Structure formats: structure tokens, C-alpha cells
Amino acid sequence: MYLLNPYALWPLPQQAMPIEVRGRRESDISDVRALMQRAYPPPHGPEAVWAESNLLAHLSVFPEGQFVAIGRDGEIIGSATSMRTSARQAMAGHTWSDITGKGQLTTHEAEGDVLYGVNIVVDPAHQGCGVARMLYKARFGLAQELGCRWIVAGARIPGYHEHAEAMSAPEYVGAVVHGSLFDPTLSKQLRMGFRVWGMLPGYAPDHETLDQAVLIIRPVRGAHAL
């Protein structure tokens, strides 16, 4: 594990459009799948897009942990999937498949003290408009309401493949944390108060991250809202 400085500074994105975040509904499933297809085109594999059975399972297991972001025209432009687990499970080494029950949330613990971020996806046409931030804000509010102590996630580092020949994944993350490199995902999460707890090698198949992820944590109690 690598415990690193939690700060990296870039200007906050400007929210260019009104965004509504609400709970995901069964009627949203086809639109969420279409969103994921736009966000994860080849060479991402088909496993990057939730199957209908996955999305139905999420609503059955933990409906309050599933959100969608709605744009000005009523289109779903973002989606967030969450579950609860224990700090012991979330803050130890793990893979995405193991901790999420292969995306079915069969590992969800109804009394878990961690709200675990399974997935956040934003329409490529609306990235940089504050959509992810609004979804994280909804997660934070839910974690406070449920009495969770932490929000935890395995953060993608999609910029890593551009630097992999020159540095290891921990070296890349250190550069992002200290502000000498910008990562499209991790840098924004650091701005929202997350800090790096360690590395998650082999977290999930991903050609941009070379299967690497970063374990990020954010306290809920006593922390300022997003």
C-alpha cells in the first residue's frame, strides 16, 4: 500500500447546464445501457456495459444506492452505482469483481459502514460539466443519511497508459497526487476530498489503466459536503 499526499490543484469545472440527480428506476435501464455504450466504446469490451440483469439486481439489492443524472432535455447523461460493505473489506486489497460480486452486488452488506462506489459513468458529450460531481454529492448525502463512516472506491487512472513506459503505476499516482501530472479521473476525485489509501493492481481489465486502480477514501462524519 502507498499512502500519499491527498492534494492536487486544478480549477474546478464550470457547470454549464442544469443537472437533476434522482434515484434510478427500472424504466431507466435501457437508457443507462445506451449511456454506457456511448461512454465505453471499443476497445472497451462488452463487459464494460451493464447487462439488464445487473441493473435489475442493483435495484433489488440496494435501490437507494443507485442514481442517474438528467440533463436539460430529460436525457440520462450520468449514472452512479453504489453498495455498502465493511471498512475491513473495502480498505484491504481487492478486485472489482470480488468486492461487487461480479457486478451483481451479492456482496452488499446492509449495515456496512462504508458506501462503496461501484461505478460512475458520464456521457462523453457532457464530461467537464459537473455531472460526476453532482453524482458524488448524491452519494455523499446518502452516506450521511445511512450513517456510513466512509465513502470508498477503486479509482480508474485512465491517463496511466500514456506514461506506463516511463514509470510504474504507483509513481504515476504519486505524480498525480503531487500535481505534476493530471489524470482525467483521479485528479478530479482528489479535488472532491478523496485521498489515496493504496494501489489496487489487477483491479479490473482496462486497456487505459493497464488493469491498475487506486483505492480512494473520503470520511463522511465531520467532513464538508461536496
Residues 129-174: tens digit of each pLDDT: 899 999 999 999 999 999 999 999 999 999 999 999 999 999 999 9
Secondary structure element (H or E) that encloses residue 69, with its range: strand 66-70
Is 72 inside a domain boundary? yes
Residue 82 lies in a domain: yes
With respect to residue 205, please indicate whether it lies within any of the assigned structural domains: yes
Strands 150-156 and 114-122: parallel
Say how many domains are in the chain: 1
Residue 106, domain member (yes or no): yes
Do 181 and 169 contact (CB within 8 A), yes or no? no
Going by pLDDT thresholds of 50, 70 and 90, the confidence category of residue 46 is confident
Q: Are strands 150-156 and 212-219 parallel, antiparallel or unpaired?
A: antiparallel
Question: Sign (positive/negative) of CA torsion 24, 30, 33, 37?
Answer: negative
Q: Report the pLDDT value the prediction gives residue 59, as an integer from 0 to 100.
A: 98
Q: Does residue 107 belong to any structural domain of this protein?
A: yes
The answer to the question of residue 167 being in a domain is no
Q: Which residues sit opposite 218 in a β-bridge? A: 151
Domain containing 59: what range? 20-159+196-219
- pLDDT tens digits, 48-82: 899 999 999 999 999 999 999 999 989 999 999 99
Domain-embedded: residue 182: no
CATH number of the domain residue 143 falls in = 3.40.630.30
Using alpha carbons, select from 99, 71, 57, 61 the residue that is nearest to residue 15.
71
| Residue 213 is assigned to a structural domain of this protein | yes
- Note the pLDDT tens digit of each residue in 162-208: 999 999 999 999 999 999 999 999 999 999 999 999 999 999 999 99
Closest CA to 33 of 3, 13, 58: 58
